[in-house]
């Protein structure tokens, strides 16, 4: 979830409100009130409930991985060559992306390892370096990756939903999930013949984040032409689970 704890609490307060049969939110964690000054505490039945709201949201972010691999007879030679390739490509990437705030460029994995023969002796060394391009500007990211493909070919790409878009959608879904929880609690109360209910405990959860690759992006390596990118969709959900007290009519 991307909602802060304070924001989630505020939204829960607004959504739950003070509907019929509800106790004020500060009393959620409190035990039922005592009936009379000299009487034992009323043991109300409890019920566990869960409700959720789901929505499909368009993936608005792409992360492109550029990578290069090379080999040489010594570890130092590989390190020098990889460092130069990484620096030169990063310099060009930052220059091409200048003025495009929606495009973020960073270095990725950097690794050097030995190659061994059948007897276990090192025959040569290999290395791999990556540059990551992340953006909500699909055309701009595609064009940049194409321009850099002669230095570092495209190795992989993933689409996702940005934290900002996800948080906005979860705020809307929270109200739906709260209403679904209220409806279910009320239906359960009536089904068992109780007069009302009060909330004992509430927990908020969420899920999402499915990434899908787009193999056609690799076609840009051949002719250095940018390819239109189109993200898929993923489900975002907000769930509420908790427990309630089922209350009889007090006299």
CATH, domain range 61-160: 3.30.70.2970
Write out pLDDT tens, residues 203-235: 988 664 443 444 444 444 445 556 678 888 889
pLDDT for the residue 70: 94
83 pLDDT tier (thresholds 50, 70, 90)? very high
Radius of gyration (C-alpha) of the chain in whole angstroms = 28
How far apart (Å, rounded) are the C-alpha atoms in residues 146 and 167? 32
Structure tokens at 167: 């948080």
Domain boundaries, given as residue ranges, for the chain: 5-58+163-247, 61-160
């Amino acid at each position: 979830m991307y909602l802060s704890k304070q924001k989630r609490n505020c939204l829960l307060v607004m959504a739950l409100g003070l509907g019929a049969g509800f106790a004020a939110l500060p009393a959620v964690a409190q035990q039922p009130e005592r009936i009379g000054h000299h009487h034992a505490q009323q043991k109300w039945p409890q019920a566990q409930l869960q409700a959720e709201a789901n929505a499909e949201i368009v993936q608005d972010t792409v992360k492109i991985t550029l990578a290069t691999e090379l080999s040489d007879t010594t570890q130092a030679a590989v390190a020098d060559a990889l460092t130069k390739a990484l620096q030169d490509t990063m310099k060009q990437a930052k220059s091409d992306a200048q003025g495009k705030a929606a495009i973020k460029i960073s270095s990725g994995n950097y690794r050097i390892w030995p190659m061994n023969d059948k007897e276990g002796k090192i025959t040569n060394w290999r290395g791999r370096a990556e540059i990551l391009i992340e953006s909500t500007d699909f055309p701009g990211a595609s064009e940049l990756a194409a321009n850099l493909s002669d230095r570092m070919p495209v190795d992989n790409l993933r689409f996702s939903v940005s934290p900002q878009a996800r948080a906005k959608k979860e705020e809307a879904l929270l109200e739906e999930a709260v209403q679904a929880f209220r409806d279910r609690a009320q239906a359960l109360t009536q089904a068992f013949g109780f007069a009302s209910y009060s909330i004992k405990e509430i927990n908020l959860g969420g899920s999402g984040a499915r990434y899908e690759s787009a193999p056609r992006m690799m076609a840009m390596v051949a002719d250095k032409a940018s390819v239109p990118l189109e993200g898929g969709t993923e489900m975002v959900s907000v769930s509420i689970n908790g427990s309630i007290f089922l209350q009889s009519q007090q006299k």
